[in-house]
Amino acid sequence: MDLTDALAADGIVCAVGAGGKKTAMAALAAASDRATVTATVRIPKAFAERPEIHRLVETPDPAGVVGTNDAWPLEVVPGPADESRHAGYENDVVAGLREPAPGPVLVKADGARMRQFKAPSDREPQIPANADTVLAIASARAVGEPLDEEVVHRPERVAAVTDRAVGEELRPVDVATVLASDRGGMKRVPDGATAVAVVNMVDDERLAAVGREVAEATLARSDRVDRVVLTRLDESRVVDVYDSSRSA
């Protein structure tokens, strides 16, 4: 299965979590025909400098720009938020891109400050009501690491979801619990949207084994997760795909 099929990259696709959101968006932009990249939260200005992005437009009217654009992939943002980041649009503005966009709309829908794992804040994620797919991402590399701020964005939130203590070693089941939870990866996923849990940074056989444990435990904990995809997004590669029809 190729990356766009595995990650259900069609329509409005929102990336949440930690450990590969921007890499997923860049990989899908490169693999998709006429993709639009945007955000409902702040997004680094440096993202537009990636080779996958052909054009950046700062605009209060992204639907108008998308509807007349001829250089893809396109990134649209409302303007700068600070020296290093662009602001994001309101959810209803991004929802309005679904009709004029000729390809997928790839949306950064929360922040993680470059960590490998997270649970959302009260205000996160910011997902348009008409989102077609939500990608809940975590890094396989977080397993075996301590539940602390070096690895985890908002470790106290992860501790609350997993019933673990800050500082304890993260297990595959802890990552799965967050990915499957409506206080974690499944928070605010719209009814009818495809929910894909993504275990990224599966870089070797040891991490593949970790990813398989996470996948099986995630599906065991949630009927809302449609599939779990193990990836190496820096290579745009699908390592494995799990869904409810697949037994351990």
Residue 245: pLDDT band with limits 50, 70, 90: confident
Q: What is the pLDDT of residues 143-174, one digit of tens each?
A: 999 999 999 999 999 999 999 999 999 999 99
Q: What is the pLDDT of residues 28-77, one digit of tens each?
A: 999 998 999 999 999 999 999 999 999 999 999 999 999 999 999 999 99
- Region 3-38+105-243: CATH code: 3.40.50
pLDDT at position 193, please?
98
Q: What is the pLDDT of residues 177-226, one digit of tens each?
A: 999 999 999 999 999 999 999 999 999 999 999 999 999 999 999 999 99
Place of tokens 């390809």: 103
The mean pLDDT value of the chain amounts to 96
Spans of all domains in the chain: 3-38+105-243
Which residues, in sequence order, are CB contacts of 71 under 8 Å at separation 6+?
54, 55
Q: Rounded distance, CA 203 to CA 57, Å?
A: 34
In the chain, which ranges are continuous DSSP H helix? 3-6, 21-31, 62-68, 91-95, 155-162, 172-180, 205-221
Among 229, 185, 136, 193, residue whose Cα is nearest residue 11: 193
